[in-house]
Amino acid sequence: MLAVLLERGKTLRAEAREKIGAPRFQVKCHGHAWDVVDVTTGAIQGFAFTYQAALRFASAMEAGAATKRGVMQ
């Protein structure tokens, strides 16, 4: 029962993020580097050694995800 509720909650959060246009990728500090994390899966998509480079990478990933969904940024 709990597994079903957790899965339903995950699905609802993903739908809500899609509707409001919330960012899909986040930049998180990891030691002396910055990780770019996919919020929907929790998977690390890449890393950078400066915050600005990580933000540029996350922005490029967002743009790529938006074009795959058919949404122009």
Domain ranges of the chain: 23-73
Predicted confidence pLDDT, tens digits, the chain (73 residues): 889 999 998 888 878 877 776 788 999 998 999 999 998 888 999 999 999 999 999 999 988 887 876 655 5
Distance CA 72, CA 60 (A): 13
- The alpha carbon of 8 is separated from its chain's Cα centroid by a whole number of angstroms, namely 19
The dihedrals phi and psi of 43, each to the nearest 5 degrees, come to -80, 140
Q: Distance of CA 31 to CAs 27, 46, 47, 50, Å?
A: 13, 14, 11, 11
Question: The pTM is what?
Answer: 0.65
